[in-house]
Amino acid sequence: MNQVETHSAAIPAHMPRPMTLEEAWRVVWVRPLSRPIGELLDEGILNADRLQWAAEHAYNIRLKQAATIVLKSLERGRGDTARPAANAAQSEIPQFQSDMTVQQARAMPWPFRDFRGRSMGELLDAGLITARDLGGLVERAYEPRVKQAAIILMLKRIDQVVEESSAKGAVKLISGGRSYALRKQFEWFLEMGAICGAIIGAGSVLTIWYFVAVAQTRATASATETSPQGVLVPLLLSAVVGLIIILVIRWASERLLKRSFSRLEWLRRGQEGEDRVVETILPALDGDWTVFRNVVLPGRKGDLDVILAGPAGMWVLEVKTYQGAYRALGERWERYAGGRWQGLSKNPGSQARMNAGMLSSFLREKGVQLWIEPVVVWANPNSPLTLEEPKPEVWVMDNLRDEAGNLFSGHAKGPEIIQQAIASLVRVCEDAAKARAEESDR
């Protein structure tokens, strides 16, 4: 008789214990939501894409495990069977009598220009509208159902803000000055002023020369009493030359203005993208974190778009608002143009790593040994981006708030080292502000 031997091995400490589907529904999502997955799914705040993000990128092992389990249950079509019964009731707002659920309110299309037709829930998740925008919608909307949806979402957001408030206070936001985009826009206006002045000056000189030439031709013709043909030919030649001069000036001006306005539009999109990223990240962080914008390190010309510094470490964000279809394959970035994929001459991933290296070197000179995490932020949700194990990390707008909330689950760094790094960057921003003040006084 064969003996069947059973082995009971202890689960290693680094491995999560087995989790049921019901337990997975109760696992808390990342900040700033910090609520059970089941509740957020019932209200339509979470979807399969966000669960997929958590299953792949969440630092919290339990959350990663729960997201994987819930995602598989939804794919099998059995997601509703294991939800706690209380969750369905929580999809209503008890303080406001309404026959509309939060999920229905989130699905309501935005009625105004820019985001017309997109669901309110999608716009809220992407940080494109705020509670203030919802308040304005309540005042201006004509449709009663739209007003009702705005009220529900506004009350829900206020309730979340109250729940998420912390004794640690609000995140600290420090600016290093005007962004690269704003500086370039200012330089563009100066350059365009100089070029337009030069064109006007050249046009004036050529116009004066033309009329002087015509006058001299008439004087010469009358003095020599030449034939009519002898008078008309020089006049026609002068007219043709004048017309050519006008057309050349017009062509050059139109070409220059078209190129310049295209550049200005690119800079404007970049500035709006940076603003959108910061507005989306700030609600996900608390008073333990400091966010720096547009920091120019000593001896450098370009700025660091966004720096996040907190208990879990320091991140440098390289914000991109490119238009068109792109993909990041490992360390390689490509753009689809001319019917094929073409490599980018300026690789966003390389830029992010270079910025992180510069910041690390600067801090090392100050006696601060700290690893800086480089990240590319894709800030244009209308431009498709395909990701295949990108290096460094790439954050997209749809998951940006989750990415920021996920940082709280990272490995904590030494608080003294973080504070020294923050103090060094604060001094850089203060020195830049003093330099700007002295320059304006001159």
Q: Comparing C-alpha atoms, which of 332, 321, 322, 327 is closest to residue 385?
A: 327
Confidence at residue 153, expressed as pLDDT on a 0 to 100 scale: 84
- Residue 351 near residue 270 (C-beta atoms within 8 A): no
Return the structure tokens found at 387.
């990701």
Q: In what order do the strands lie in the sheet with 332-337?
A: 340-343, 332-337, 326-329, 385-388
> Average pLDDT, whole number, for the chain?
78
Instruction: Report the C-alpha gap between 106 and 149 in whole angstroms.
Output: 7
Within this chain, do residues 431 and 299 fall inside the same structural domain, yes or no?
Answer: yes
What value does the mean pLDDT take over residues 158-180?
A: 64
CA distances in angstroms from 241 to 155, 211, 233, 244, listed in the order given:
71, 11, 12, 5
Return the structure tokens found at 116.
């017309």
- C-beta neighbour count of 307 within 10 angstroms: 24
Coil/strand/helix, residue 431 = helix
Instruction: Please check whether residue 296 lies inside any domain of the structure.
Output: yes
Looking at the predicted structure, is the pLDDT value of residue 259 above 70?
no
* Least confident piece of the model among 165-179, 249-263, 313-327: 249-263
Within this chain, do residues 280 and 257 fall inside the same structural domain, yes or no?
Answer: no
CA distances in angstroms from 431 to 175, 296, 419, listed in the order given:
12, 10, 18
- What is the phi/psi pair of residue 158, to 5°? -60, -40
Instruction: Report the C-alpha gap between 306 and 179 in whole angstroms.
Output: 10
What value does the mean pLDDT take over residues 413-422?
A: 87
Confidence at residue 174, expressed as pLDDT on a 0 to 100 scale: 92
Within this chain, do residues 65 and 123 fall inside the same structural domain, yes or no?
Answer: no
Task: Mention every residue, 6+ apart, whose C-beta is less than 8 A from residue 405.
Answer: 29, 30, 31, 32, 33, 34, 284
Within this chain, do residues 312 and 433 fall inside the same structural domain, yes or no?
Answer: yes
Looking at the predicted structure, is the pLDDT value of residue 146 above 60?
yes
Q: Which of 86, 102, 119 lies at the terminal end of a domain, its last residue?
A: 86
What value does the mean pLDDT take over residues 26-37?
A: 87
The pLDDT tens digits of the residues spanning 180-213 come to 555 555 555 566 666 666 666 766 676 676 667 6
Beta bridge partners of 343: 334
* Least confident piece of the model among 107-116, 225-234, 324-333: 225-234
Beta bridge partners of 317: 306, 375
> How do 372-378 and 393-396 pair as beta strands?
parallel
- Residue 118 near residue 110 (C-beta atoms within 8 A): yes
Within this chain, do residues 288 and 369 fall inside the same structural domain, yes or no?
Answer: yes
Instruction: Report the C-alpha gap between 104 and 101 in whole angstroms.
Output: 5
What value does the mean pLDDT take over residues 275-292?
A: 90
Instruction: Please check whether residue 120 lies inside any domain of the structure.
Output: yes
Q: Comparing C-alpha atoms, which of 136, 387, 172, 377 is closest to residue 277?
A: 377
**Domains held by the chain: number:** 4
Tell me the CB-side half-sphere exposure of residue 421, using CA atoms within 13 A. Answer: 31
Instruction: Dump the DSSP string for 47-63.
Output: -HHHHHHHHHH-SSHHH
Q: Which of 267, 289, 311 lies at the terminal end of a domain, its last residue?
A: 267
> How do 326-329 and 385-388 pair as beta strands?
parallel
What value does the mean pLDDT take over residues 158-171?
A: 55
Instruction: Please check whether residue 16 lies inside any domain of the structure.
Output: no
Within this chain, do residues 106 and 79 fall inside the same structural domain, yes or no?
Answer: no
Confidence at residue 45, expressed as pLDDT on a 0 to 100 scale: 81
Q: Comparing C-alpha atoms, which of 334, 329, 302, 342 is closest to residue 318?
A: 302
Instruction: Please check whether residue 426 lies inside any domain of the structure.
Output: yes
Within this chain, do residues 155 and 197 fall inside the same structural domain, yes or no?
Answer: no
Within this chain, do residues 288 and 405 fall inside the same structural domain, yes or no?
Answer: yes
- Is the pLDDT higher at 132 or at 140? 140
Number of residues assigned to the chain: 442
Within this chain, do residues 25 and 82 fall inside the same structural domain, yes or no?
Answer: yes
Instruction: Please check whether residue 8 lies inside any domain of the structure.
Output: no
Within this chain, do residues 330 and 408 fall inside the same structural domain, yes or no?
Answer: yes
Confidence at 168, pLDDT banded by 50, 70, 90: low
Instruction: Please check whether residue 5 lies inside any domain of the structure.
Output: no
- What is the phi/psi pair of residue 13, to 5°? -65, -30
Domain range for 352: 172-178+273-437
Q: Which of 244, 267, 290 lies at the terminal end of a domain, its last residue?
A: 267
Name the amino acid, one letter, at 409: S
Within this chain, do residues 242 and 288 fall inside the same structural domain, yes or no?
Answer: no
- Residue 305 near residue 409 (C-beta atoms within 8 A): no
Confidence at residue 89, expressed as pLDDT on a 0 to 100 scale: 41
Instruction: Please check whether residue 216 lies inside any domain of the structure.
Output: yes
Confidence at residue 409, expressed as pLDDT on a 0 to 100 scale: 76
Instruction: Report the C-alpha gap between 54 and 28 in whole angstroms.
Output: 12
* Least confident piece of the model among 146-160, 283-297, 308-322, 423-437: 146-160
The pLDDT tens digits of the residues spanning 300-328 come to 888 899 999 999 899 999 999 999 999 99
* Least confident piece of the model among 147-161, 175-189, 354-368: 175-189
The pLDDT tens digits of the residues spanning 45-70 come to 888 889 999 999 998 899 999 999 99
Confidence at residue 404, expressed as pLDDT on a 0 to 100 scale: 92
Instruction: Please check whether residue 12 lies inside any domain of the structure.
Output: no
The pLDDT tens digits of the residues spanning 216-229 come to 665 665 555 555 55
Confidence at 88, pLDDT banded by 50, 70, 90: very low
DSSP state of 398: G
Within this chain, do residues 249 and 136 fall inside the same structural domain, yes or no?
Answer: no
- Is the pLDDT higher at 78 or at 122? 122
Instruction: Report the C-alpha gap between 313 and 154 in whole angstroms.
Output: 33
Confidence at 152, pLDDT banded by 50, 70, 90: confident
> How do 372-378 and 332-337 pair as beta strands?
unpaired
